[in-house]
Structure 1
Amino acid sequence: MTKQLKKGFGSDNHSGVLPEVFEALAGASAGHEPAYGTDEYCEKARRVFKENFADSAEVYFVFNGTAANVLSLMACAQSFNSVIVSDISHLNEDECGAPEANGGFKLVSLPSINGKISADQIEKKLIRSGDQHYSQVKVVSITQPTEVGTLYTIEEMTSISQLCKANGLFFHVDGARFIYSAQALGKSFRDLTAGVGVDVLSFGGTKNGLLGTEAVVILNPALNKNFQYLRKQRMQLASKSRFHAVQWLEFFKDEKWAKIAEHGILMAQTLQRLLEKQNLLEVVYPVEANSVFVKIPKAWVKPLRSKYFFYIWDETEFVARWMCSFDTMVEDLEGIVAEVQKLSTSVI
Structure 2
Amino acid sequence: MQHFASDNYAPVHPEVMAALTAANGGPDVPYGDDATTDRLQARTRELFGPKAAVFPVLIGTGANVISLMAAAPRWGGVVLSDVAHANTDENGAPERVGGLKLLVCPSTHGRITTEAVRSWSRDLGNPHRAQPAVLSLTQSTELGTVYSLQELRSLTEAAHDLGMLVHVDGSRLANAAASLGTGLRELTTDAGVDILSLGAAKNGGMIGEAVVVLDGGADAGLVETIPYLRKQTMQLASKARFVSAQLLALLGEPDGAGSQRTAAGAAGVPGPGATPGAASPSGREPLWLRNARHANAMAARLRAAVERTLPGDVVRVTHPTEANVVFASLPRRAADAVRARFRFYDWADGETPDRVEARWMCSWATTEPEVDAFVEAIAAAVD
- TM-score for the superposition, normalised by structure 2: 0.87
Aligned partner of 1:320 in structure 2 is: 358
1:42 aligns with 2:37: yes
Q: Which AA in structure 1 matches 2:142?
A: E
How far apart are residue 104 of structure 1 and its match? Answer: 1.0
Aligned partner of 1:51 in structure 2 is: 46
Deviations 1:242-276 (A, max 9, x none): 10111111112341111101101110011111111
The counterpart of 1:286, out of the listed 320, 328, 339, is 320
How far apart are residue 7 of structure 1 and its match? Answer: 2.1
Matched length? 340
1:275 aligns with 2:306: yes
Q: Which AA in structure 2 matches 1:26?
A: T
Alpha-carbon contact 1:58-1:218 (below 8 Å) kept: yes
Alpha-carbon contact 2:330-2:350 (below 8 Å) kept: no
Q: Which AA in structure 2 matches 1:266?
A: A
CA distance in 2 between partners of 1:229 and 1:125 (Å):
30
Q: Which AA in structure 1 matches 2:298?
A: M
CA distance in 1 between partners of 2:379 and 2:225 (Å):
56
CA distance in 1 between partners of 2:131 and 2:49 (Å):
29
CA distance in 1 between partners of 2:233 and 2:310 (Å):
50
How far apart are residue 207 of structure 1 and its match? Answer: 0.6
CA distance in 2 between partners of 1:309 and 1:315 (Å):
18
Moved over 6 A (4+): none
Aligned partner of 2:264 in structure 1 is: none
Aligned partner of 2:341 in structure 1 is: 307
5+ residue gaps, structure 1: 1-5
Aligned partner of 1:23 in structure 2 is: 18
Alpha-carbon contact 1:78-1:103 (below 8 Å) kept: no
5+ residue gaps, structure 2: 253-283
Alpha-carbon contact 2:310-2:379 (below 8 Å) kept: no
Indicate the RMSD between aligned Cα atoms, in angstroms: 1.0
The counterpart of 2:157, out of the listed 162, 169, 179, is 162
Q: Which AA in structure 1 matches 2:236?
A: L
How far apart are residue 344 of structure 1 and its match? Answer: 2.0
Map residues 49-198 of structure 1 onto 2, 5 A cutoff.
49-198=44-193
How far apart are residue 316 of structure 1 and its match? Answer: 4.4
Task: Report sequence identity in percent.
Answer: 39
More deviation, 136-145/315-324: 315-324
How far apart are residue 167 of structure 1 and its match? Answer: 1.5
- TM-score for the superposition, normalised by structure 1: 0.96
Aligned partner of 2:266 in structure 1 is: none
Q: Which AA in structure 1 matches 2:335?
A: V
SS of residue matched to 1:17: coil
Alpha-carbon contact 2:36-2:241 (below 8 Å) kept: yes
How far apart are residue 90 of structure 1 and its match? Answer: 0.5
Q: Which AA in structure 1 matches 2:248?
A: L
CA distance in 1 between partners of 2:310 and 2:18 (Å):
43
CA distance in 1 between partners of 2:120 and 2:32 (Å):
40
1:258 aligns with 2:253: no
CA distance in 2 between partners of 1:101 and 1:78 (Å):
15
